[in-house]
Amino acid sequence: MTTAFLFPGQGSQAVGMGKSLAETYPVARAVFDEVDEALSQKLSAVMWDGPLETLTLTANAQPALLAVSLAVIRVLEAEAGLDLKRDAAFVAGHSLGEYAALAAAGTFGIADAARLLRIRGDSMQQAVPPGEGAMAALLGADLDLARAIAADAAQGAVCEVANDNGGGQVVLSGAKAAIDRAIVLAGERGVRRAMLLPVSAPFHCSMMLPAAEAMRAALGKVAMLAPVVPVMANVGAAPLVEPAAIRDSLVAQVTGTVRWRECVEAMTAAGVTRFVEVGSGKVLTGLVKRIATGATPISVGTADDIAGYKP
């Protein structure tokens, strides 16, 4: 059975995530302590005790989700004998999850990855003034229809495809007025449901260009190694192993479309039959079920999940 390990993105955060891991496994606790130290913040306390509003802040949610995913990986290595180089064909992460995937595969250290995601979260939040941008999910739309709706709704403003998640779920991002127009057009064109998302900025569109430049500068200062297994990159939906190409891809990802459907399809075409979602929640597990029928998706995010994990 050929396996890929998947790492979730923003929206999978929940108060209490990772707490059972830290209480059960010293190697997990060490990950949370390292992230806290890297950020000079007791982020683990926010993760375990809330409030949810503080955890959901982009600058907190991104390194917090990274911490949980890497804690799970470290426990699987210690308790289940996981060796990504031996046991995985690919790693892949959804948006910020790509940083967790790369850290798990050895491209970044934990502290560097946490600091990069704090910079990423802050710069994405600051790129667009509050209220000027928005995102909307189109449910029951394929990519071509979503692109056509975005083009017609733009009317000179930014309205772009942010995520092609698969299973008929496409997310648009851009100027608030354009996104509002897109929601109306979606209803007129037979999209099953179109709804605004509760986000604080229009991620993965050209309005994020200032954040992309901030990440270019930040990534240029961090040592990067080749991952021990290829990362299936969001923006190219193709495997990468060269640090320079990975750096460029991570910069492009800030303003580019997360091509998640194509990433899963490419891994399936390469022979992957099992997808292991590592970290908080089961969002990617659900998406894989809709994209790769016949594959085996599982999620590993708690101490109980780890106890039942089979290599």
- Annotated catalytic residue 94: no
Per-residue pLDDT reduced to its tens digit, 54-104:
999 999 999 999 999 999 999 999 999 999 999 999 999 999 999 999 999
- Are residues 55 and 71 both part of a single domain? yes
Q: Look at residues 199, 216, 251 and tell me which one is the last residue of a structural domain.
A: 199
- Are residues 9 and 101 both part of a single domain? yes
Per-residue pLDDT reduced to its tens digit, 246-276:
999 999 999 999 999 999 999 999 999 999 9
- Read off the amino acid at residue 167: G
For the segment 187-216, the average pLDDT, to the nearest whole number, is: 96
- Annotated catalytic residue 204: yes
DSSP state of 226: -
Is residue 100 within 8 A of residue 162, CB to CB? The reply is no
Q: Look at residues 150, 180, 199 and tell me which one is the last residue of a structural domain.
A: 199
- Are residues 9 and 67 both part of a single domain? yes
Residue 40 belongs to a domain with what CATH number? 3.40.366.10
Residue 172 belongs to a domain with what CATH number? 3.30.70.250
Residue ranges making up the domain that contains 78: 3-127+207-307
- Cis status of the peptide bond prior to 202, with omega within 30 of 0: no
Helix axes 97-104 and 110-127, enclosed angle (nearest 10)? 170
- pLDDT-derived band at 1 (thresholds 50, 70, 90) equals confident
List phi, psi (to 5°) of 167.
65, 30
Per-residue pLDDT reduced to its tens digit, 116-127:
999 999 999 999
Cα–Cα distance, 209 to 128 (Å, whole number): 10
- Are residues 21 and 103 both part of a single domain? yes
Cα–Cα distance, 195 to 8 (Å, whole number): 21
Q: Look at residues 169, 199, 229 and tell me which one is the last residue of a structural domain.
A: 199
pLDDT at 310 over 90: no
Per-residue pLDDT reduced to its tens digit, 139-186:
999 999 999 999 999 999 999 999 999 999 999 999 999 999 999 999
- pLDDT-derived band at 137 (thresholds 50, 70, 90) equals very high
Please tell me which residue in 44, 69, 95, 173 is annotated as part of the active site. Answer: 95
pLDDT at 200 over 90: no
pLDDT at 205 over 90: yes
- Are residues 139 and 264 both part of a single domain? no
**Mean pLDDT rounded to a whole number for the chain:** 96
Q: Which residue is it, tokens 């993965």?
A: 204
Please tell me which residue in 12, 94, 204, 299 is annotated as part of the active site. Answer: 204
- Are residues 155 and 212 both part of a single domain? no
- pLDDT-derived band at 198 (thresholds 50, 70, 90) equals confident
Cα–Cα distance, 207 to 213 (Å, whole number): 12
- Judging by DSSP bridges, how do beta strands 231-232 and 239-240 pair with one another? antiparallel
Based on the structure, what is the number of domains in the chain?
A: 2
pLDDT at 199 over 90: no
- Are residues 190 and 84 both part of a single domain? no
- Are residues 36 and 89 both part of a single domain? yes
Instruction: Count other C-beta atoms under 10 Å from residue 123's C-beta.
Output: 21
- Are residues 123 and 173 both part of a single domain? no
pLDDT at residue 297, as a whole number: 97
